[in-house]
Chains A and B, each alone.
Chain A
Amino acid sequence: MSKIFVNARIIDPVTSYDKKGSLLIHGDKIVGYGEHMEAPEGALVIDCGGKVLCPGFIDMRAHAVDPIAAPAGGITTVILQPDQNTMIDTDAVVERIRRRAEDGGSSRVYPMGTATRGMEGSQIAEIGQMQQSGAVAFTDCRKAIADAQVLRRLLEYAGYFNALVVQFPEEASLAAGGVAHEGETATRLGFAGIPSAAEAMQIERDTRLALLTGGRIHFALISSREGVEAVREAKAKGAKVTCSTAPHYLLLNDNALEGYRTFAKVSPPLREEEDRLALIAGIADGTIDTLVSDHDPKSADVKRLPFAQADHGIIGFETLLPLSLTPVHAGKVDLMVALRALTSTPAALLGLETGTLAKGAPADITIFDLNKPLRINVDELHSSAKNTPFDSLPVQGKVWKTLVGGEILFGKDA
């Protein structure tokens, strides 16, 4: 069964293609795209009305699968973090998650395995076996691997398997006890702080280890100007260093904590305005490689607590696109750059065959209205929890259809 999407603005970040045209898929594969595509007989013709058609989003950092929310956010591949109820630290757990995901009906799910056993930071996890079972990268999630010798060996060992090591950039002893960015807001609200230096110094140390071993290291979330600068310097030195950030760091600073709002409690913490601006600039110039949702549904039971006791985390699947487009609409980031950070770059980092519109690639496709104005409405989100500080925020951009393997998972009736 073929489908042809006509009257679309086709963007393929891999080739920087951006033109009006049509895209043809057959079964679960992309056949091709161009300004004039011939529709084969019997093909389903879908008129996109000028909307953007691009590869489906690959979200490199999610703490839950949330099978309805992910396609609703245009996300066709969810990279699940290992901090699940059953920690993803053996091939058996990886296999179970992969098998459950293959039942279909939702976005693809690939887990990250733990980098060290039990995320204890002392012994390398069974990276080879977990990789064979389908783990695409290895991380201790919110724990930075502190021991330099362990991280060095990990980079060397993972290098043999060409496996990506993802490090949380926060020097634990400097951040200990902190619940917010160390600055005026934390001082006034009475919080123990986490200085930006905790992020930069972890990146700087690990850059040395990346250079020493020749291994690849990816920093899970960058939140500060100092962090962006450390990554920029690491890349200039030729270290195989990459990093992500999440849209909330591009939209909010620590003023969002005003009134002790735990919905704005995230890890790493929201920082100052200059940090927010530096992160946007880091996306624009490619210092920051990928945009992730850091999707983390949390119930009111763990959020409606005194700030220091409340859990970190916000939901991000369905706000990933409109929030990521905010700096695009503001003229600070090119659309192509933003989409690359959501599609082809994470695919390349993780060795996935999606993230492209190339002939023969899996038909994982997101079609969205670039300019549609709307207010984020928490009641309309499909997420399993509603912890977002963005309720009622005016944004532009809405997902219209999401296809995984040629199947329309979101926007069937639209």
Chain B
Amino acid sequence: MSMHSTSTVSYPRADVDPPSGSLFPHKHLLGIWGLDPTSIKHLLDVADGYADQNRTANKNSSICAGLTQINLFFENSTRTLMSFEIAGKRLGLDTISMSTGSSSIKKGETLLDTAATLNAMHPDVLVVRHGDSGAVKLLSEKMDCAVINAGDGRAEHPTQALLDALTIRRRKGQIHGQTIVICGDIAHSRVARSNIYLLNAMGARVRLVAPPTLLPKDVDRLGVEVFHRMDEGLKGADVVMMLRLQQERMKGAFLPSLREYYKFWGLTREKLNAAKDDVLIMHPGPMNRGVEIASDVADDIDRSAIEEQVEMGVAVRMACIDVLTRGLPQRVNADKAEETKS
């Protein structure tokens, strides 16, 4: 029970269940919060290998053959869902995807009943996206298999943060010491939260730039510098990450208009002048061109890493699935068979 403290100490996640000797001693990937730099680095190292492999003709492997992966998306998504599906298939898993829009899974059923139902089907990996913060953690409590959070509410989107980190590491050599600016709707963004935790853990300097209405309370206590003006926040930046502005935010009196938002917080070539010449431009997609980012900036082939992020997404998700299933008996036997062959 946490009773007498307001400090910002990090509590370990409750899912720590270490397979002996693993560099990633966790049963699930529910968030970046609570992961130590060693665990993060391990995922990035494995993903780095897959990123290279994905560029060769031999993209596919069968190291996870026979395992079942369920992608359960309570929120609409195309990119992330496809990325997880491709990642699973490249590793040889049998992947099944369900979206609540197209299935009957959410006909009044509670989340824990859904979890119990899925658990009875004995999947080996469950990938979940849900609109409520903490929902994926709740679901994981009923699952025997590894659960990967593909985004929960405004809380976390860990694979997005990992793919962003991998992109930065490959382009800039390292994350440590980089000045990384996250711009836009921080308040409603799980991408921003996961990135703040990851980049801080890996030793980057993290800045946020947003209008006051799109910054959550006390966000400065998470170890970031907060700016409202783009030119100040972008000064000397190595990386700038733009966030998608959800159009529905316009209804809640967060902003007067898209036009005004673009004028003050849209990333244009002119505003980018404050950053370093070789600044890396990132966006988790899908982009609103002319709202948070100008087209010529998004398409800048030298500095924009937006397509590379998508590419790294597959590699990172392959790494997560691989690492989380390493302790499974099927994998252990397959790996042994591989060893005897060679």
Could you list which residues of chain A lie within 8 angstroms of chain B, going by C-beta atoms? 182-184, 186-191, 193, 195, 251-253, 255-256, 258-260, 272-274, 301, 304-309, 389, 393
Given known pairs A190-B156, A190-B193, A306-B130, the reply for A184 and B135 (CB within 8 Å) is no
Query: Inside 8 A of A307's CB, which chain B residues have their CB?
Result: 132-134
Beta-carbon contact of A184 and B14 below 8 Å: no
Query: Inside 8 A of A184's CB, which chain B residues have their CB?
Result: 6, 8, 217-218, 221-222
Given known pairs A184-B222, A306-B134, the reply for A190 and B8 (CB within 8 Å) is no
Tell me if B153 is interfacial: C-beta within 8 Å of chain A: yes
Beta-carbon contact of B3 and A183 below 8 Å: no
Q: How far is the CB of B144 from chain A (nearest CB, A)?
A: 18
Interchain CB contact (< 8 A) of A186 among B5, B11, B216: B216
Main secondary structure of the interface of B (DSSP, over half): loop
Proximity bits, B152-168, A CB within 8 Å = 1, else 0: 11111000000000000
Closest to B74 in A: A306
Most chain A CB within 10 A, of B110, B133, B219, is at B133
A393 to B3 alpha-carbon distance, docked (Å): 11
Beta-carbon contact of A260 and B133 below 8 Å: yes
Beta-carbon contact of A306 and B133 below 8 Å: yes
Most chain A CB within 10 A, of B1, B132, B154, B216, is at B1
Q: How far is the CB of A327 from chain B (nearest CB, A)?
A: 12
Q: How far is the CB of B272 from chain A (nearest CB, A)?
A: 28
Beta-carbon contact of B133 and A189 below 8 Å: yes
Query: Inside 8 A of B222's CB, which chain A residues have their CB?
Result: 184, 187-188
Tell me if B207 is interfacial: C-beta within 8 Å of chain A: no
A187 to B188 alpha-carbon distance, docked (Å): 10
Please give me the 8 A-B residue pairs with the lowest Cβ-Cβ distance, nearest first: A190-B155, A260-B134, A190-B133, A306-B132, A255-B2, A190-B154, A306-B135, A187-B216
Q: What are 8 A-B pairs with beta-carbon distances under 8 A?
A: A182-B217, A187-B218, A193-B216, A258-B11, A260-B137, A273-B4, A305-B111, A307-B134
Interchain CB contact (< 8 A) of A273 among B5, B33, B130: B5
A301 to B222 alpha-carbon distance, docked (Å): 34
Closest to B1 in A: A393
A251 to B1 alpha-carbon distance, docked (Å): 10
Tell me if B334 is interfacial: C-beta within 8 Å of chain A: no
Q: How far is the CB of B127 from chain A (nearest CB, A)?
A: 17
Could you list which residues of chain B lie within 8 angstroms of chain A, going by C-beta atoms? 1-6, 8, 11, 14, 33, 110-112, 130, 132-135, 137-138, 152-156, 190, 193, 216-219, 221-222
A258 to B190 alpha-carbon distance, docked (Å): 17
Beta-carbon contact of B33 and A188 below 8 Å: yes
A209 to B152 alpha-carbon distance, docked (Å): 43
Closest to B2 in A: A255
Closest to A277 in B: B4
Interchain CB contact (< 8 A) of A308 among B8, B14, B33, B133: B133
Q: How far is the CB of B114 from chain A (nearest CB, A)?
A: 12
Q: How far is the CB of B213 from chain A (nearest CB, A)?
A: 13
Q: How far is the CB of B270 from chain A (nearest CB, A)?
A: 31
Closest to B156 in A: A190
Beta-carbon contact of A253 and B3 below 8 Å: yes
Query: Inside 8 A of B33's CB, which chain A residues have their CB?
Result: 188
A251 to B153 alpha-carbon distance, docked (Å): 29
Beta-carbon contact of A258 and B6 below 8 Å: no
Closest to B154 in A: A190
Beta-carbon contact of A183 and B138 below 8 Å: no
Q: How far is the CB of A268 from chain B (nearest CB, A)?
A: 16
Beta-carbon contact of A252 and B3 below 8 Å: yes
Query: Inside 8 A of A253's CB, which chain B residues have their CB?
Result: 2-3, 6
Closest to B4 in A: A273
Most chain B CB within 10 A, of A301, A306, A307, is at A306
A301 to B111 alpha-carbon distance, docked (Å): 10
Query: Inside 8 A of A252's CB, which chain B residues have their CB?
Result: 1, 3
Q: How far is the CB of B23 from chain A (nearest CB, A)?
A: 24
Q: How far is the CB of A14 from chain B (nearest CB, A)?
A: 33
Q: How far is the CB of B226 from chain A (nearest CB, A)?
A: 12
Closest to A252 in B: B3
A304 to B110 alpha-carbon distance, docked (Å): 9
Beta-carbon contact of B110 and A305 below 8 Å: yes
Query: Inside 8 A of A195's CB, which chain B residues have their CB?
Result: 217
A389 to B3 alpha-carbon distance, docked (Å): 11
Query: Inside 8 A of B133's CB, which chain A residues have their CB?
Result: 189-191, 260, 306-308
Q: How far is the CB of B2 from chain A (nearest CB, A)?
A: 4
A304 to B2 alpha-carbon distance, docked (Å): 21
Q: How far is the CB of B293 from chain A (nearest CB, A)?
A: 24
A183 to B155 alpha-carbon distance, docked (Å): 14
Beta-carbon contact of A260 and B216 below 8 Å: no
Query: Inside 8 A of A190's CB, which chain B residues have their CB?
Result: 133-134, 152-156, 190, 193
Query: Inside 8 A of A255's CB, which chain B residues have their CB?
Result: 2-3, 5-6
Closest to A301 in B: B110
Most chain B CB within 10 A, of A255, A258, A301, is at A255
Most chain B CB within 10 A, of A184, A251, A274, A309, is at A184
A189 to B134 alpha-carbon distance, docked (Å): 7
